[in-house]
Amino acid sequence: MSQQDSAVLVLQEDLLLSTVTGLKARIEPYLTSTETALTIDLSGVGRFDSSALALFLEWVRQLNQCARQVRWVGIPENLKALADLYGVGFIFTGVGDAV
């Protein structure tokens, strides 16, 4: 995959119940773009709760419907553990080491 075929979405905020509703629309430009893949960088995420997982599940569903690949980077270990606890660790398939 070439650089021009991939976009990057960098998250640098808390992902809490009080904030994720406002973040839902951040995925929309990537649903209609010409890129075939999206890298979601979580290295700047501060606090998070289970609502972050709900947001990511929705984003992955929407990207899959548009035939977009998803790559995750910078996932906090505690977020991976939370995803595994809830049985949704599969959303982080396509994990990479760098953007």
- Residue 76 has which token pair? 């906090």
Number of domains in the chain: 1
Look at residue 98 and tell me if it is in a domain.
Answer: no
Nearest to 75, CA basis, from 15, 6, 25: 15
Look at residue 97 and tell me if it is in a domain.
Answer: no
Is 0.85 surpassed by the pTM of this model? yes
* pLDDT at 97 (0 to 100): 45
* pLDDT at 95 (0 to 100): 58
Q: Reply yes or no on whether the pLDDT at 1 is more than 60.
A: no
Residue 12 DSSP label: -
Residue 48 DSSP label: B
Q: Which domain holds residue 47?
A: 3-92
Look at residue 50 and tell me if it is in a domain.
Answer: yes
Q: Which residues pair with 71 in a beta bridge?
A: 39
pLDDT in tens, 8-46: 999 999 999 999 999 999 999 999 988 999 999 999 999
